[in-house]
Structure 1
């Protein structure tokens, strides 16, 4: 790209005029913030365009030539199938149950319906049917519990103990006509190609991870909200049991905690653990909550640890109302010296919009093996071995082997270890991970990307180690935790035109957080190896540009600054635009639109436009 395209001046189609191409992102964002909202009527929009030196066609051509060409009905709402019941021997399985919930607005007669349990490991009885008796009416928002005789609040006793298989299995609810109403397949990581029983009833990848509920830590698989049903394993989260009661957590989602009011080595009541509850810890004192001394965090005082000192894995969930667009921010202690031998490892995840399994089985971001790890949603996952420590940003979606690594950060002793700020944020289908930098800002090391699906889910933390001695462990140790809805926002409007390579698509590379060096705009479906122009504007508008431009092309924002680029051989482009650390821009709206130059389009101005994209900048 020549110097004219990088900044300064680019020649327009009229030799007597020069059009400025602004490449200073800081100045561009500031100018955009100061601009007024564009009027909405077509006539006033055209007047609004008058201060711009030329029409959009002239502006775009200048750059081109400079570049040288939810919930319904009755559902299975909560269940438990592998428990160490209170007051009973291990694996007594006396507290197994399935809870139904009527998410509809009318009563439902479930008489003659049946719960079908598939237990492929039980060769003597691989399938069991439990029939619901006559005159059973389920009112709106009501629950119906089927399970063991010792289950509190059970409506239909199915037996005494060991009702459901403790490993891979399935639960199906069918009506009188044997029509499938709802179903779930659990521990789907154990499925093989011969398990044909699962295909008619599995939703997505099923519940992938493994599960056990133990004394004093009773857990269940629960829908993230009563009746919440998207048809994937991501509908389910690991929570404390709420048999015959609502799954909905009503506490406000905003959560700020520096842990200084807690007593070290006692349970934190706002979190639930699968084997050991998260505990307050004094970082300078070695005990069952803290395996070795570490310095205090930048905040000082106590911290929180998620750790089972007897070894193995442990999972924690924050008991706050689930969120979709959200931020998790905290200080976390990273120790690169814990691994003591070959084949030893230490791993943890901090996840949002999802859940994980009770054992927190070893993740495999590089898919080197088929992992039983049950992470769903989006996570910051750290893996430490003798080869080093790496922090990954992963889109797990609904779990299973189809996870996608969006980026990774190498942790190096003396560079980015010890106490570090960590920030995990999801806005729409955009996820970002920051390490280091300042609380509440977008500085520090950054990786980000686009996730497959955004969904409602919990904040969860998992930790697992295979290490000796345990005194060398460094479990998840966090301080000054801040969880809140994301103030950043990304929205799309209008329609997009087509090139010879597909429909022009626009997407931010990361949530629009001030100070993020990794922010930028990506484009897809562009004409291959050809010129691209990105328009930064203020306010929304909709001015059709066809037939001079390709069909479907409209002007969706008042162009204040233009950024040129060139698509690659796949018809994609990434234009980096670091966001300034300027707090006066907090809450500013910035609009974007991409135009792809495609000489194969037989129109006067072969520039195919994307939808409009509006970003709300946030700290």
Structure 2
């Protein structure tokens, strides 16, 4: 009788020791042996496989378990003078939480005694606030002017309605010569009057900013002191932090939502009105207007909207920088709306949005001009005549030309995909920016840059910014809406990476084994996992083989396996680990990727052999296809 391949201890690697419910079975399979088949040399590796360094070294690097943060430009001393760092000018009811925050980005204290904060409307000069004598801002410190209700306020300058609720210019001048130290104009979507000439940087802050008492948001520089001399690129809409840092964590973000309670708010997100909530997509609830199928990831999902109506804007509380990859399963309802109704959502990077997510109108058919999107966004628009997914470069949100009441934005539509009602359902959506190039993928395999329909193009003003979500509709019956609904959301700063499949699957008596990844394989992704699904429900052991693709797959039928069952991973070098499936037939192999640039571009392949005692063959395995992931950074 044929025997299973024997396992040698040669070249053993201490790989992922103590990393959870995993057992190291082997590190190096020398050959396949049986009583009738002598030990033979391992098959040659695929000729096309040429990593930058040896798999042995790479796998040893993986064992280091480095979880480092991606570096951002957060050092004190990045600027040469005080800046207007954060401000809020419009809030619920009587506007009692308005403020302007100054920040000293230098390495030494700056005396601001006698400096003035000057406000100007479209036709008149408004309030001027003089800073008292003997006032200085420490290196890396803040100074807040506002109402007494503002946390950390240093100078109370009014009770309510301190600054205009609509378009205004705020300028900081020094005491010596009245020179402009910093200046900005907000709500540039209303036009650009002559009174603001010389008082703006770039194309102004384009969108409308409103701070709801339940959420308290403000316009904040993307990082403390970050100043490109373009207001539209420098400021993001975020939770208000007067007197405290604007800086966000630079780590990656991955959430499958399955361990969170249905109807709970997501803790790593902010919003203009309502923070995204966890839902069971198959059940109607407060946040889920109608039942839909579960995503390919299964179980819980999340939704971003304001169920009471109007527009809503949310942001991921991560410093995504300028090079970024965001990916998720997203539900598309491509059924046309009733007459004159519209539903629109956007998923964007490198930018932000106005509080109300005014319609972006990528087709230009509706004449909307007040949308505050910046950066680059995927926008899905459904009307009574079309359902289209657009990739749009909104850059700084500014305009080319126009009148005060009808400014014209300089958005650039980089591509679009027309959808049909039959496209309704869950689709993988990936948006990636590297340098001045944006790439988007609709459909295809999660983590892949070779599958799905692709859109892309060059960006006019690539810059650091946030990952954001907007949704707005004019649907009469909210139970008929489908707000932005998503699952398995991943955000990777500085990310690029790829996942591809090869080979064929052989089922067990319980299901069809499949192998995948929980997120993009990028440097610094401490949450990266190789995942298994469709496995024999557990607890049941599954073998994860890691190595390089075999030039010739090993036919497992030769050793008593099922006909058509193959091992696609070369026998040398090889790491094999055991993971135990759960009751749903899912298993995961944690592979935290260190932020080690030497790993960039390295490719590793993996395959699962799933044990099934109910099989009648001597070698009781079903097998997944093979999967190769290439590490990006």
* Corresponding residue to 1:118 among 117, 120, 125: 120
Cα RMSD, aligned residues only:
2.6
| Partner residue in 2 for 1:96 | 98
| Partner residue in 2 for 1:237 | 236
Higher RCO structure (Cα 8 Å, ≥6 apart) = 2
Q: CA deviation at 1:126?
A: 3.8
Task: Measure the CA separation in 1 of the matches of 2:216 and 2:190.
Answer: 24
| Partner residue in 2 for 1:435 | 442
Deviations 1:31-62 (A, max 9, x none): 8974999xxxxxxxxxxxxxxxxxxxxxxxxx
The equivalences for 1:3-18 within 5 A come to none
Change beyond 3 A, Cα 1:319–1:588: closer
SS at match of 1:189: helix
Task: Measure the CA separation in 1 of the matches of 2:383 and 2:113.
Answer: 56
The TM-score normalised by the length of structure 1 is 0.66
| Partner residue in 2 for 1:181 | 181
**Does the 8 Å CA contact 2:320/2:492 hold for their aligned counterparts?**
no
5+ unaligned residues in a row in structure 2: which ranges? 1-45, 54-77, 399-408, 502-568, 570-598, 603-629
SS at match of 2:248: coil
Q: CA deviation at 1:72?
A: 3.3
| Partner residue in 2 for 1:421 | 428
Q: CA deviation at 1:486?
A: 4.1
| Partner residue in 2 for 1:167 | 166
The equivalences for 1:259-298 within 5 A come to 259-298=257-296
Change beyond 3 A, Cα 1:588–1:268: closer
Task: Measure the CA separation in 2 of the matches of 1:301 and 1:36.
Answer: 39
| Partner residue in 2 for 1:483 | 491
The equivalences for 1:182-331 within 5 A come to 182-192=182-192, 195-232=193-230, 233-250=232-249, 252-331=250-329
The equivalences for 1:353-372 within 5 A come to 353-368=350-365, 369-372=367-370
Change beyond 3 A, Cα 1:279–1:179: same
| Partner residue in 1 for 2:510 | none
5+ unaligned residues in a row in structure 1: which ranges? 1-29, 38-69, 85-89, 489-511, 517-581, 590-615
The equivalences for 1:204-603 within 5 A come to 204-232=202-230, 233-250=232-249, 252-337=250-335, 339-341=337-339, 343-368=340-365, 369-400=367-398, 401-414=409-422, 416-442=423-449, 443-488=451-496, 587-588=600-601
Q: CA deviation at 1:275?
A: 1.0
Deviations 1:328-373 (A, max 9, x none): 01000000226222x2100011011111111000002234425111
Does 1:79 find its partner at 2:87? yes
| Partner residue in 2 for 1:133 | 132
SS at match of 2:157: strand
Deviations 1:251-302 (A, max 9, x none): x431111111111122111111211111111112212201111000011111
Q: CA deviation at 1:309?
A: 1.1
Change beyond 3 A, Cα 1:340–1:128: same
SS at match of 1:234: helix
Task: Measure the CA separation in 2 of the matches of 1:135 and 1:618.
Answer: 51
Task: Measure the CA separation in 1 of the matches of 2:233 and 2:334.
Answer: 32
| Partner residue in 1 for 2:406 | none
